[in-house]
Structure 1
C-alpha cells in the first residue's frame, strides 16, 4: 500500500521575500536606558566602528558598500550618536519576516475563504491523518499522534506533512493556509519514509483513531488489493461516527474510458468517501482513477502546502485532493456536530459543482467540492416620498440595503421593483444599489393610472445573500 509516487512531484518554495517596517529619522526606544538597542548607523563618509565601541556598544555587521554598521548600543548612547556630525542617520534594526501568506489555488477554488467568513474554520474537529507522519512546522499545530511503524510520528518523507497542511495549515499570515485552519490534526504514522506501508499498520491506525475519538480519518494512499480485515475496521470506524475519506488513486490517464474501474482500496469501500482529482481548469486530472465509487473531486494538480524542513512544496495526486474534502467535511462537522455521517455527506453534496455528465458519474462523482457557508442576510428599508398621490404626481421610491450583521451598506445588489394594482402590473424594472447601498426610482403618474391602491414590491438579491422581499402600499386619488 502506498500513495502513488509516479505523480509525486515536489518543487520547494522558500518564502524569503521580506516586508520591512519603515522607520523614521527620529528614534524612540523604551524607557530603560540600560537596555541594548539594535541599530543601523549610516555614516556620511567612512565607517568608524569605535563610534559604537566607545559607548559600550557592539558591532554586529559592517556594510562598506553603504558606509554603515549594525550593532547594539545602550539606550543612553542614542542621543550621543545623534549628536555626532559624522553620522548621517541612525535607524532601528527592525525585524523582518516572510512577506505574507499564500493562498493556494485549491483553497480558493473550493471557496474556503467564504466559509471562514461564515465562521466555519473546523474548530473543535479532530482529524487523524493516516500517512507518513507529520513534521513540526511553523504553519502547523499538531495536537498529538502515534506511529505504527517507528518510534516517532515525525515525517521524514514529506507526504503526510503536505496532506496535513492542505487540511489545517494555520491562518497566521505566513506560508499557506488550509481548508479548516482551526481543526485539530493528529499524526498517525502508518507509512514508512519511502511511502510504503502494510494493511496491518493502517488497521492499527484506524483502531487508534476510534479509541481516541477522532471525527474524521484522512487516508491519502491506497492499494488495488481487497482486504476483508481493512473493510471491517473501516466499517467499525464509520459505525463509531468517524468520517473516513480516502484517495481514489492515480491509476488513470486522459484516454481512460468512463467504464474503467480502477479505484483504490480503501476508497472503494462503501464506508469511505472516495475522492478523485481535477486540475485548475476543473477537468479530470490525467492520473485520477475512475469508477462508480467516486463521490467528490477536488484540486489535485500543483498544490502548494507545508513540507518537511519548515519548507513548502507543490505536489500532484489524488493524495492532495483527499484532504480538501476532509477539510470541507471538518467545516460542516463544526457547525453540525450531531449529524450522522450520511447527513453531513448529503449536505456536502448540495454545494458541489456538477462536472461532467449531469448527476453522479465515474469521472467526478457528484462534482467538485465546495466548502460550506451560511449566506448573509439583508436589512432593508423601503420608503416612498408620500403615501397618497394625485394624478400627475411623481412617486419616488427609495430603499436602503444593509448587511444585517455588520449594518454596512451593500453595494451592487440587484433590486427588482414591481408595482401592481388590481388591474395588473403597472411597472416591472430592475436596478442596482449604489456605493451607499441605496436605490432611488421615480415614476410619474398620469391620466392613464387607475385610482386606488398600488402595491410596491421590491426583491433584493446578491450572491452570498439570502433574498429579501419588502412591500409598501400607496394610494392614488
Structure 2
C-alpha cells in the first residue's frame, strides 16, 4: 500500500525498472503542495543514480507528474493523489500548405501578407507596433537563423530536450512567429506586431505531435518567466482537467491565452484549450472575409481572423503559405500585443471583450451574420488608446 509520497517515490523507482513502455502516459496530480514537494525532491535526488526516473516529468504548476502508465490498483491506494488522467496527444491546427513565391503589398521593399493588411494592422502601427510585449509561442520551435525573425527572438524553452535551444524541425512554429512579429526592411515580410518579442517554447516534435504534459510544462515556463501572451495554435477533442488547471493558473497570473478552434469545419464544437472560458478562441476567415470552410464555428468562438493561404516565414530562411485556424490565431496574438504595448496591464477578460466589441461583423449576401465578428486591429488599438487617455 502507498501511504505517503516517500513510499510512492520508492514504488515509482521500481516501476520505472520495468521494460520500455508502449508510449502511453498519464498525469498524476497530488493533493497538497507539501506532498508534491516531497515527491519532487525525492525524484530529483534519485535521478543521478536512477536514470530511468528521467521518464517522469514534474509539473509544478498543477502539482503533478507525467509518467508512463502505472498499475491502477496501486494508485488507488494512495490517499495524497487527487486525480489520475490519460496524458493525451495534442495536434497542430494546420491544413494544406506549399512553397510560395510571396504575395502581398510591399512596404519599404518588404511584403505585408494579405491577412495583416485585411485586419488593418498597418494603419494601427502609428499608434503601436507591440514594443517589447512578450509572446510565448508554444509550438514546434523556431528557425533562429531566419533573417525576418532575428530581431524579435528572445529566450525560449525546449520541453522535449532541455539541453537544447527550441530549434524548429517542423516549420509550423516558425510560420506562426512570422505572422506575429516578423520584420524586414528590404526583402522579406512584416508581421502584425513587428516590435514584439517572441519566446519560442518547443513542446511539439518534428511530426507536430505533443502530450498534454508537454503543453503544461510550456505554460509553466511562460508563467514563471513573465510572458504576456501565450499563442496556442493546436488542440484536441478530449477534455483534460490537468490542462484546464494550467490554463486557469496562467489566466489568474494575468497571461492572455489565444488558441485555435480546430479545422474540422464543425458548426457547434471547438477543440480544447480554445473551449476554456479563460481563452480567446479563434476561427478562420478567407480573403473575402467569410468563415473558412475548414474552420470550426459556432458560439464558442470569440473572434475570427485570416487563416486561408497565409504567407509567412519558414525553415532555412524560406517562406511558406499555409491555411488553418493556427494561422488565424497568430493574427489575434499579434493584435493583442499591439493593445498591450499601448496599455500595459490590461486584464485577460478585458482584452477579450475589447477585441470582440471592436471587431467587424462578418457579412454574407449583404447581411450581418448575428454576433459573428472578424478581427480589426485598428479599431482595437484605437479603443485602447482612448481608454488610456482618460
**The two structures share one fold, judged by TM-score above 0.5:** yes
Q: Are 1:149 and 2:160 matched, yes or no? A: yes
Residue 115 of structure 1, CA deviation:
0.6
Name the structure 1 match of 2:210: 197
Query: 5 Å matches for 1:358-373?
Result: 361=371, 364=372, 366-371=373-378, 372-373=380-381
Question: What TM-score results when the alignment is normalised by the length of structure 2?
Answer: 0.69
Name the structure 2 match of 1:3: 92
- Verify the 8 A CA contact 1:102 1:177 in the aligned structure 2: yes
Structure 1, gaps ≥5 residues long? 16-98, 376-477
- Verify the 8 A CA contact 1:304 1:312 in the aligned structure 2: yes
3-state SS of 2:175 partner: helix
Q: Structure 1 residues 112, 351: CA separation in 2 closer, same or farther (over 3 Å shift)?
A: same
Aligned length: 282
Once residues 370 and 196 of structure 2 are traced to their aligned partners in structure 1, the CA distance between those partners, rounded to angstroms, is 29
Q: Which of 112, 117, 124 is matched with 1:115 structurally?
A: 124
Q: Which of 277, 294, 298 is matched with 2:301 structurally?
A: 294
Name the structure 2 match of 1:318: 325
- Verify the 8 A CA contact 2:251 2:257 in the aligned structure 1: yes
Once residues 369 and 282 of structure 1 are traced to their aligned partners in structure 2, the CA distance between those partners, rounded to angstroms, is 12
Once residues 102 and 341 of structure 2 are traced to their aligned partners in structure 1, the CA distance between those partners, rounded to angstroms, is 33
Name the structure 2 match of 1:276: 283
More strand by share: 1
Question: What TM-score results when the alignment is normalised by the length of structure 1?
Answer: 0.57
Once residues 268 and 373 of structure 1 are traced to their aligned partners in structure 2, the CA distance between those partners, rounded to angstroms, is 25
Name the structure 1 match of 2:346: 339
Name the structure 2 match of 1:49: none
Query: 5 Å matches for 1:11-22?
Result: 11-13=99-101
Residue 179 of structure 1, CA deviation:
0.3
- Verify the 8 A CA contact 2:102 2:111 in the aligned structure 1: no
- Post-superposition Cα deviations, 1:165-193, rounded to whole Å, max 9, x if no partner, equal 00000153320000000001000011111
- Verify the 8 A CA contact 1:295 1:367 in the aligned structure 2: no
3-state SS of 1:298 partner: strand
- Verify the 8 A CA contact 1:360 1:367 in the aligned structure 2: no
Name the structure 2 match of 1:167: 180
Query: 5 Å matches for 1:41-440?
Result: 100-118=109-127, 120-136=128-144, 137-140=146-149, 141-150=152-161, 151-252=164-265, 260-356=267-363, 361=371, 364=372, 366-371=373-378, 372-374=380-382
- Verify the 8 A CA contact 2:124 2:377 in the aligned structure 1: no
3-state SS of 2:311 partner: strand
Once residues 375 and 382 of structure 2 are traced to their aligned partners in structure 1, the CA distance between those partners, rounded to angstroms, is 19
Residue 302 of structure 1, CA deviation:
1.0
Q: Structure 1 residues 207, 112: CA separation in 2 closer, same or farther (over 3 Å shift)?
A: same
Q: Structure 1 residues 360, 205: CA separation in 2 closer, same or farther (over 3 Å shift)?
A: farther
Highest CA radius of gyration, 1 or 2?
A: 1
Once residues 206 and 349 of structure 2 are traced to their aligned partners in structure 1, the CA distance between those partners, rounded to angstroms, is 34
Structure 2, gaps ≥5 residues long? 1-89, 384-390
Once residues 246 and 336 of structure 1 are traced to their aligned partners in structure 2, the CA distance between those partners, rounded to angstroms, is 22
Residue 11 of structure 1, CA deviation:
1.8
- Post-superposition Cα deviations, 1:34-76, rounded to whole Å, max 9, x if no partner, equal xxxxxxxxxxxxxxxxxxxxxxxxxxxxxxxxxxxxxxxxxxx
Residue 307 of structure 1, CA deviation:
0.4
Residue 156 of structure 1, CA deviation:
1.1
- Verify the 8 A CA contact 1:123 1:183 in the aligned structure 2: yes
- Verify the 8 A CA contact 1:12 1:311 in the aligned structure 2: no
Name the structure 2 match of 1:429: none
- Verify the 8 A CA contact 1:250 1:317 in the aligned structure 2: yes
Once residues 104 and 203 of structure 1 are traced to their aligned partners in structure 2, the CA distance between those partners, rounded to angstroms, is 32
3-state SS of 1:176 partner: coil
3-state SS of 1:10 partner: strand
The CA RMSD over aligned residues, in Å, is 2.1
- Verify the 8 A CA contact 1:355 1:368 in the aligned structure 2: no
Residue 14 of structure 1, CA deviation:
7.5
Once residues 306 and 225 of structure 1 are traced to their aligned partners in structure 2, the CA distance between those partners, rounded to angstroms, is 31
- Verify the 8 A CA contact 2:100 2:311 in the aligned structure 1: no
